[in-house]
Structure 1
Amino acid sequence: MTTPNKTSPGAYPKQLERTGTVWETGSLAVWFLSSCRLGFIVDQLRVDNLETYWQSDGSQPHLVNVQFRRKTTVKTLCIYASYKSDESYTPSKISASVGNNFHTLQEIRPGKSVH
């Protein structure tokens, strides 16, 4: 998700997209999951419905790999996790890494830019 301007904290991404302050870029990428339970596939992760979700079915770490076909600048990453909805599968740690290929990945921290 890219953001040309500041966005209000906690604002729902689809609402911001309608205002023109963000542009959802996930459809420009290829999504891979490290594993999934039957019926809890990548489509469930990407659909515009907070009641659906991806559920992994394998050894940890559980990974979501998003690869863009060409160089793409992503300024904001939005992840919705609800402990109240699914406490047994809600992650206790989330990390994000960026790079030009698998071998150049660098973990990013909130508020820190990686060039």
Structure 2
Amino acid sequence: MSAENPDGAEIVTNPDLSEMREMSKKAAWSVSSCKPGNGVHLLRDDNVETYWQSDGVQPHLVNIQFQRKVKLQLLALYVDFKHDESYTPSKISIRVGNGFRDLKEIKSVELVEPTGWTYISLCPSESREVFVQTFMLQLAVLSNHQNGRDTHIRQVKVYGPYPNPVPLQEFQFNSLEFTMYSNLR
């Protein structure tokens, strides 16, 4: 897999997914179009042999909407140039916002004959933040390899940080009984 990053988009190689949680199950998914039998559900079936296939003019869109604002760190795509050739995305745009009306592009990525999982950091390049907060994430396929018209994407996953189980507050133990149990051994 190779990728060029004209806009500073970060392709992550071998991310530590154990420190992130998969957020896709908490979202409502939709696509701009699909061929009969190759719908949006195939993006989430955990089978890299199946694929969503668009049907229509570009850009082809995958919309991921959450009920509440979430923190996202990583977008993972499974695409296969060896099998899909001209159906493989070559230029994608990643947009975030509160809904369809206020989406803003945060990353633009060019993929060169990708095969397998491609991990794209969603962290803003100009910021020190390690995640982006949003209600909606949109993946837009702007062009395909060999000027292909329709797109095949085999899987999409979105990862975010685990929530902090302990709220950030200082406990003040004043009595002898409380101080005995204030530390873990």
Shorter-chain TM-score tier: 0.7 to 0.9
The one of the two structures with greater contact order (alpha-carbon pairs below 8 A, sep at least 6) is 2
CA distance in 2, matches of 1:41, 1:86: 16
2:13 to 6, 9, 14: 9
Corresponding residue of 1:22: 20
Corresponding residue of 1:67: 65
2:43 to 33, 37, 45: 45
SS at match of 1:43: helix
| Superposition deviation, residue 103 in structure 1 | 2.2
Q: Which segments of 5 or more consecutive residues in structure 1 lack a partner in the other structure?
A: 1-7
Percent of residue pairs bearing the same amino acid type: 51
RMSD: 2.1
Name the structure with the higher strand share: 2
Confirm whether residue 34 of structure 1 aligns to residue 32 of structure 2. Answer: yes
CA distance in 2, matches of 1:44, 1:104: 27
| Superposition deviation, residue 71 in structure 1 | 0.5
Q: Which segments of 5 or more consecutive residues in structure 2 lack a partner in the other structure?
A: 1-11, 108-119, 125-131, 134-185
SS at match of 1:87: helix
TM-score by length of 2: 0.50
SS at match of 1:77: strand
Corresponding residue of 2:79: 81
CA distance in 2, matches of 1:10, 1:63: 26
SS at match of 1:79: strand
Q: Could you say which structure has the larger radius of gyration?
A: 2
SS at match of 1:36: coil
Task: Give the counterpart letter for 1:69 in structure 2.
Answer: Q
| Superposition deviation, residue 80 in structure 1 | 1.5
2:98 to 97, 100, 110: 100
TM-score by length of 1: 0.77
What is the CA deviation profile of residues 40-60 of structure 1, one whole-angstrom value per residue up to 9, with x for unaligned ones?
Answer: 111111111111110011121
